[in-house]
Amino acid sequence: MPQFAYQAINENGATVSGTIEAESPETANNMLIARGYIPARISAAGSLAETGFVARLNDMFGSVKPQELILFTKQLRTMLMAGIPIIRLLQVLEAQTQNKILKKVIAQVGADIKQGSTLVDALEKHPKVFSPLYRSMVNAGEISGTVPDILDRLGYILEHEFRIKSDIKAALQYPIIVLVALSVAFIVLLTFVIPKFVGIFAKAGLTLPWPTKIAMLLYQFLHNYWYLLLAGIVLAIFLLRNFFKTGKGKLMRDTLLLQIPLMGPLFQKAAMSRFASIFSILQASGVQVMTTMKVLIGTIGNAAIAREFERIQEMMQQGQGIAAPLRSAKFFPPMVVDMVAIGE
């Protein structure tokens, strides 16, 4: 059975560390909680140095990884359930967090709460770390007085989304590898193989077929004007990247992504899974339907589907319910619409 190195906080508030045998990090986390500890960090035994090195690399790029946010959410919930005051637990989380960006954010959240801010108001100041979904759910928890329960549901949905994104990346790896291999093979064929055969054909006095002539023209262009081709590719990437940052560009890009054979349905199913999970959890948390739709517009992850949500929201404001607007919208499978209609 694998071993995991851990750091945790005991009943006296002191930091303890050691190793524990468990089937997975989640099992190790539950075992430590059963012992009365508050887990702070769990990693595969013998990989602490590697974890620290990876964390330093992440700090250089200035980002908070989804796994780190999930761990922060779980730790926050566990400490709230243990009855630790919010200021004290934020100090503990700040001390235990390896990511410098997240450490700084936690410190600022704690300072704002000390000055009288609510938790959601403190989180609002860090939109790059805490998404609209995250902030909306914390807000619902503060209003209803069930922050630990909300954080439990939030941790589930963050893990669910991270797993879906990982599955999509894994599914895209093979097509990307195939495209790269074909591109490399085409360039090698064009620059090394075809010129040698052309020389042989020329000596034999044979007339080259049109495909071979076209390939030779491409070879000559690549050989003589490769720098123009490279500059054109770099310029195209730069222009497309800036265009896709605009609202019109995002809408065009995401609409095209949904129309790609094989990949398009995968993106659509991922968006529908996210819609169902977020909608269900926000409704169970007491968030109003219109607020839920507003959150979905900002968190669905696809501009084309978000545009449909905006139209659905307008129809709902006119009193048309939920199922009817969904039925008239694009990208929503009949099963999703029927299940929503049954629930409504």
pLDDT confidence of residue 52: 47
State phi, psi for 300 to the nearest 5 degrees: -70, -25
User: How far is residue 88's CA from residue 250's CA, in Å, rounded to a whole number?
Assistant: 42
pLDDT confidence of residue 236: 94
pLDDT confidence of residue 26: 74
User: How far is residue 85's CA from residue 112's CA, in Å, rounded to a whole number?
Assistant: 15
pLDDT confidence of residue 1: 65
What lies within 8 Å, CB to CB, of 32 at 6+ separation is 6, 8, 20, 38, 39, 42
User: How far is residue 76's CA from residue 40's CA, in Å, rounded to a whole number?
Assistant: 10
CB 40 within 8 A of CB 92: yes
Q: Which structure tokens are listed for 316? A: 């709902």
pLDDT confidence of residue 180: 92
Q: Which structure tokens are listed for 282? A: 């926000």
Average pLDDT per consecutive 10 residues, the chain (344 residues; last block may be shorter):
76 75 78 77 59 48 80 90 88 84 90 89 90 82 82 86 81 87 87 76 73 80 84 93 89 89 83 83 79 81 87 88 86 88 87
